[in-house]
Amino acid sequence: MYDYSNQIQTFHDEKVRLSTEMSATLLAHRQANEDRLTSRLPDLRDSVRISHSRYRSQGSFAMRTIIQTRLSEEEYDIDYGVLLHRVDLAESSGADMSAGDATDLVRNALKDDRFSRQPIKKLNCVRVFYADKDEHRHHVDFPVYRTYTEDDGIVHQELATSEGWSPSDPTAINSWFEKLIATREAEHTGWGAQTRQLVRLLKRFCRSRRDWDMPNGLKLTMLVAETGEYDQRIDAAFDAMLRRIQERLSLNLEVQNLAAAHPAQHKLTRTSSDQNMIDLRDRSKEACEAMDILHDRECTRLAARKAWDAVFKSAGYFESLDDDDSGGNDPD
């Protein structure tokens, strides 16, 4: 396969992975909201007093698989769950606080006159808005959880949803992913880090066209966990993984939640033929066909560049990395 690994690695580092500066901005805004929520909840409900230990970093930011936004309508999504004690939420009558009222409580505590848009309730969280345009566009989501322990010692954790309290472990996905990374790193030095890179690159491929409606990051992460294999070269690892994903989806379009603690949450896809999964199967097939030239012994640097640009729509970035349009051939 033609060796384009240096260019793909540089592309990942400069155009895909979240920058240090943006990461710091997101962390600062997350911390500001934590401080606001921690200090204001007792003012709204004296029984509710929380500390940093009650927050749960979630999603791609916590997993370090978040990628740079590319299209104007995209924005960064930071998930930061807050875990409250059921007894602290109880009404004066002793009745449980509803999921909707608990979400209202958190939303009201997060309101601030300095916001141009006040926090709103979403289906499973409270959303706090920040920059709403250009590459800095982002928001912070606060899923609201409650916890309690039964007489038999079993600890329960439930998420406030639009339909009520639903069993959910706020750390299940992160714990599963960190274990996966550690296991792979133990099997082969560098495989853990490369797994994160493959998740980021797959996300970047799926967001490369404005008119594509592709699966969300969690589904893509599960597919990488299923199909990713280590290679010293990141370009070869991505090429092989995308081919395995295409083959896998040609047989089965369903994606399972490998981290699910509850049977009802095992399947991430809604049906056996979700349209976004069909689109991923078809688009990955097209990408693999574009990359077939990379396996030709007569492949040139220009041909390789065109192939990778067809995959990622780099808008001339790869051309800026290449010295010229020639280049030697790399034997398989």
pLDDT tens track for 76-103: 999 999 999 999 999 888 899 999 999 9
Mean pLDDT of 156-185: 95
Percent of the residues in the chain that have a pLDDT greater than 90, as a whole number:
82
Question: Is 288 a residue whose pLDDT tops 90?
Answer: yes
What pLDDT sits at residue 134? 59
Contacts of 332 (CB under 8 A, 6+ apart): 1, 295, 297
Round to whole Å and give the CA distance between 81 and 210.
30
Average pLDDT for the chain:
92
Round to whole Å and give the CA distance between 68 and 195.
17
Q: Which two tokens stand for residue 276?
A: 């976004």
Question: Is 20 a residue whose pLDDT tops 60?
Answer: yes
Strand (E) or helix (H) holding 291: helix 275-291
Of 75, 82, 25, 40, the C-alpha closest to 58 is 82
What pLDDT sits at residue 151? 85
Strand (E) or helix (H) holding 280: helix 275-291
In this predicted model, what pLDDT tens digit does every residue of 203-245 receive, in sequence order? 999 999 999 999 999 999 999 999 999 999 999 999 999 999 9
Under DSSP, the state recorded for 114 is: T
Round to whole Å and give the CA distance between 176 and 330.
38
Q: Which two tokens stand for residue 274?
A: 């979700």
Q: Taking a C-beta distance cutoff of 8 angstroms, is the pair 203, 68 a contact?
A: no
Contacts of 46 (CB under 8 A, 6+ apart): none
pTM of the predicted model as reported, rounded to 2 decimal places: 0.91
In this predicted model, what pLDDT tens digit does every residue of 136-145 receive, in sequence order? 788 999 999 9
Per-residue CA distances from 296 to 41, 195, 255, 304 (Å):
63, 26, 33, 10
What pLDDT sits at residue 156? 94
3-state class percentages of the chain: helix first, strand second, coil last, to nearest 5? 50, 15, 35
Of 288, 305, 291, 296, the C-alpha closest to 329 is 296
Under DSSP, the state recorded for 260 is: -
Beta bridge partners of 138: 76
